[in-house]
């Protein structure tokens, strides 16, 4: 099934009666108001405030297809089913329907709409512990669902690869929190204060053509990693919140948070375990085959082709959202994705330059997603390709020098890896990969120590940034976000109405705001901006929210962000008579709560755009 067809079938299914959901647009992969994480890595992430009880303008039943990125999976890419970038189809009940509807609807979608054979579907359920009991309700619902299609569903307790319980013995498998509990941080012990989570129930598709691989244990079962089973959907019963004292309390609402990978659902409909053969990836693979004269069917070419396809797809989306490659946070991950792709391109010995290949790949990705997420209007798209070419060019210059240096050394040790990082910008993992590919020895002393330290750091930045907890962060973010509204209106008043938001990003330390403006701000302009924002803070203006039709909001001159798709009904935040914006972010009730506004830095942010860093003291 094509990605366009499957995405549409899913959204239509949840729009239709009796499900009656509203479609919400995908949020960006670089979150604007959530400094607890670098990337949007699941459909629920932009919905956290609503799962915690805030009212959503479109009601209690929502559905979408969310662009997602998981940096922690970067080293898994290369096999037939892992990618860093993916789309998550999602449906949510915000305190409305619960387990009974959710499990039945998803099964109906799989078997009636996608026409998957129920005999190939296996499910898992939370087995419970001393704190949260076993999910017997889901077990009973699944039994009934299977019975309705003539399958007598046997329940298997805590299967494991060596326990002797195999898939052949059951349909419904009970697992502990490590497998059947979902929060952004994982199991309950790992959840920071404020984080929502709950037990979940997953559905797996069986690829009968892939026999169990004994390397993964004696017996196969849904969570065995051998590839015989593929997880295609996860219904989380999001009903708990972690508290500062470590306990879990019930949320005001019992929510459903469902997510299913579009790429994997396509693989199931085609009964093809290789996600890279779907129309979401294959045009890039074909291009790489043409450019290299190498066949994808040759297993030796598969990992590099898959890595380039996945990494440049993720990079294209990030560049399209205005991210620049850099040495910190998201920019560093983007740089790693591009650099790793270039190294793999060399491995394939392309018949053109890596810059030329990068541009062509980026264009093919633009075509795959045209009218879905990427809008390759000439201007935007030429911005993406010029940043990409520039980054590849810079890397090519250092790559040769770095490889020469690397090749001269009999043993790659910590000092050399450090020098390569400092002088040539080689990430640690790239040095290790290149050395291993060349059969060079790595001195696993100092290098490993440094490497582990570094990996820990990047794992923490990409995955576990939630440490401080949502509750600790939220007040500072709310203030900085509200200040961003004041800043945007002030910029328009001082510089002119050509000022429009291009990007916004908030950490606990500062706000960052990108906007269209052709020239550097003068010292006087910066002083004037600070003065007006601080005046509006002093006036202690009331922040009001109303929910209206998008059309009405535009008629009332509420500001929007150019290029962003908005739902039919939106929240409009007005700050006194001073500012009016369509916005979903968190806001204080009175500007007097903001403190003193200070601009830290003003700089260029691409052509015709400026960037302001500011803080509240």
Which residues of the shown chain bind ligand SER in the complex (CB under 6 A)? 42-44, 90, 182, 234, 236, 257-259
Q: Closest separation between CB of residue 101 and ligand SER, Å?
A: 16
Q: Closest separation between CB of residue 493 and ligand SER, Å?
A: 41
Q: Which is nearer to ligand SER, 260 or 366 (CB)?
A: 260
DSSP state of 79: B
- On the 0-12 / 13-18 / 19+ scale of CB atoms within 10 A, 345 is buried
* Residue that the structure tokens 């647009």 belong to: 25
Distance CA 476, CA 300 (A): 50
Q: Which is nearer to ligand SER, 236 or 337 (CB)?
A: 236
In contact, 26 and 39? CB cutoff 8 Å: no
Residue 346 has φ and ψ, to the nearest 5°, of -65, -35
DSSP symbols for 335-360: HHHHHHHHHHHHHHT-SS-HHHHHHH
- Upstream peptide bond of 373 is cis (omega within 30 degrees of 0): no
Q: Is the dihedral of CA 452, 453, 456, 461 positive or negative?
A: negative
- On the 0-12 / 13-18 / 19+ scale of CB atoms within 10 A, 404 is exposed
Residue 33 has φ and ψ, to the nearest 5°, of -120, 30
Q: Which is nearer to ligand SER, 23 or 526 (CB)?
A: 23
Q: Which is nearer to ligand SER, 235 or 591 (CB)?
A: 235
Q: State how far the alpha carbon of 562 is from the alpha carbons of 321, 384, 501, 559, 566, in Å.
A: 12, 17, 7, 9, 10
Q: Which is nearer to ligand SER, 236 or 305 (CB)?
A: 236
Residue 511 has φ and ψ, to the nearest 5°, of -105, 155
Q: Closest separation between CB of residue 200 and ligand SER, Å?
A: 7
Q: Which is nearer to ligand SER, 182 or 466 (CB)?
A: 182
Q: Which of 578, 582, 598 is nearest to 590 (CA)?
A: 578
Residue 516: both structure tokens together: 């269209």
| Residue of this chain nearest to ligand SER (CB atom) | 259
Q: Closest separation between CB of residue 29 and ligand SER, Å?
A: 14
In contact, 256 and 91? CB cutoff 8 Å: yes
With helix as H, strand as E and coil as C, how does 539-593 read? CCCEEEEEEEEHHHHHHCCCECCCCCCCCCEEEEEEECCCEEEECCCCCCCEHHH
Q: Which is nearer to ligand SER, 43 or 402 (CB)?
A: 43
Q: Closest separation between CB of residue 112 and ligand SER, Å?
A: 22
Q: Closest separation between CB of residue 120 and ligand SER, Å?
A: 21
The sheet with strand 579-582 has its strands ordered as 543-549, 569-575, 579-582
Q: Which is nearer to ligand SER, 195 or 602 (CB)?
A: 195
Distance CA 79, CA 213 (A): 15
Q: Closest separation between CB of residue 118 and ligand SER, Å?
A: 22
Residue 366: both structure tokens together: 């633009």
Q: Closest separation between CB of residue 58 and ligand SER, Å?
A: 18
Q: Which is nearer to ligand SER, 259 or 366 (CB)?
A: 259
Q: Does an H or E element contain 460, and which?
A: helix 446-462
Is residue 313 classed as helix, strand or coil in its secondary structure?
A: helix
Q: Closest separation between CB of residue 615 and ligand SER, Å?
A: 32
Q: Closest separation between CB of residue 69 and ligand SER, Å?
A: 12
In contact, 561 and 583? CB cutoff 8 Å: no
Q: Closest separation between CB of residue 90 and ligand SER, Å?
A: 5
Q: Which is nearer to ligand SER, 43 or 322 (CB)?
A: 43
Q: Which is nearer to ligand SER, 93 or 219 (CB)?
A: 93
Q: Which is nearer to ligand SER, 22 or 234 (CB)?
A: 234
Q: Closest separation between CB of residue 478 and ligand SER, Å?
A: 24
In contact, 506 and 598? CB cutoff 8 Å: no
Q: Which is nearer to ligand SER, 202 or 413 (CB)?
A: 202
Q: Which of 584, 599, 602 is nearest to 478 (CA)?
A: 584
Q: Closest separation between CB of residue 534 and ligand SER, Å?
A: 41
């Amino acid at each position: 099934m094509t990605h366009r067809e499957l995405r549409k079938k899913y959204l239509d299914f949840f729009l239709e009666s009796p499900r009656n959901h509203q479609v919400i647009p995908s949020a960006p992969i670089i979150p604007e108001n959530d400094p607890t994480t670098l990337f949007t890595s699941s459909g629920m992430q932009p919905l956290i405030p609503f799962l915690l009880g805030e009212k959503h303008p479109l009601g209690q039943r929502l559905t979408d297809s969310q662009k997602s990125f998981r940096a922690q999976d970067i080293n898994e890419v290369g096999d037939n089913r892992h990618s860093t970038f993916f789309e998550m189809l999602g449906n949510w009940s915000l305190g409305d329907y619960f387990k009974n509807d959710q499990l039945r609807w998803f099964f109906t979608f799989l078997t009636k709409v996608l026409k998957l054979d129920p005999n190939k579907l296996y499910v898992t359920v939370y087995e419970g512990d001393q704190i949260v009991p076993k999910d017997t309700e889901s077990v009973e619902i699944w039994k009934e669902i299977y019975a309705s299609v003539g399958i007598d569903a046997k329940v298997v307790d805590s299967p494991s690869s060596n326990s002797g319980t195999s898939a052949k013995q059951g349909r419904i498998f009970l697992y502990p929190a490590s497998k059947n509990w979902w929060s952004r941080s994982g199991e309950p012990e790992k959840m920071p204060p404020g984080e929502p989570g709950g037990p979940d129930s997953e559905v797996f598709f069986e690829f009968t053509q892939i026999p169990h691989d004994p390397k993964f244990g004696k017996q196969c079962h849904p969570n065995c990693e051998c590839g015989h089973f593929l997880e295609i959907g996860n219904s989380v019963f999001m009903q708990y919140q972690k508290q500062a004292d470590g306990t879990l309390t019930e949320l005001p609402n019992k929510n459903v948070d469902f997510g299913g990978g579009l790429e994997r659902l396509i693989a199931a409909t085609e009964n093809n375990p290789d996600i890279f053969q779907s129309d979401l990836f294959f045009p890039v693979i074909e291009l790489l085959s043409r450019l290299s004269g190498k066949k994808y069917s040759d297993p030796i070419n598969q990992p590099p082709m898959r890595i380039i396809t996945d990494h440049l797809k993720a990079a294209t989306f990030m560049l399209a959202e205005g991210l620049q490659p850099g040495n910190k946070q998201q920019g560093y991950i983007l740089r790693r994705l591009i650099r790793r792709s270039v190294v793999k391109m060399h491995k394939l010995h392309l018949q053109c330059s890596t810059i030329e290949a990068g541009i062509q790949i980026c264009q093919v990705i633009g075509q795959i997603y045209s009218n879905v997420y990427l809008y390759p209007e000439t201007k935007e798209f030429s911005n993406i390709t010029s940043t990409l070419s520039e980054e590849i060019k810079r890397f090519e210059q250092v790559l040769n020098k770095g490889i020469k240096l690397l090749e001269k050394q009999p043993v790659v040790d910590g000092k050399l890896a450090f020098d390569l990082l400092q002088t040539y910008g080689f990430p640690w993992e790239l040095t290790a990969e290149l050395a291993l590919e060349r059969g060079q020895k790595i001195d696993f002393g100092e290098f490993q120590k440094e490497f582990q330290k570094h990996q820990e750091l990047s794992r923490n930045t990409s995955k576990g940034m939630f440490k401080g907890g949502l509750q600790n962060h939220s007040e500072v973010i709310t203030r900085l976000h509200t200040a961003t509204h004041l800043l945007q209106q002030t910029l328009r008043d001082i510089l002119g109405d050509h000022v429009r938001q291009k990007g916004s990003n908030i950490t606990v330390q500062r706000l960052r705001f990108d906007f269209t403006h052709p020239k550097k701000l003068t010292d006087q302009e910066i002083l004037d901006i600070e003065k007006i924002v601080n005046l509006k803070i002093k006036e202690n203006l009331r922040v009001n929210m109303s929910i209206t039709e998008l059309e009405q909001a535009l008629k009332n001159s509420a500001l929007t962000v150019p290029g962003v798709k908005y739902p039919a009904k939106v929240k409009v935040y007005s700050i006194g008579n001073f500012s009016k914006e369509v916005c979903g972010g968190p806001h204080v009730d009175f500007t007097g709560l903001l403190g003193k506004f200070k601009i830290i830095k003003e700089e260029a942010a691409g052509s015709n755009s400026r960037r302001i860093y500011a803080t509240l003291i």
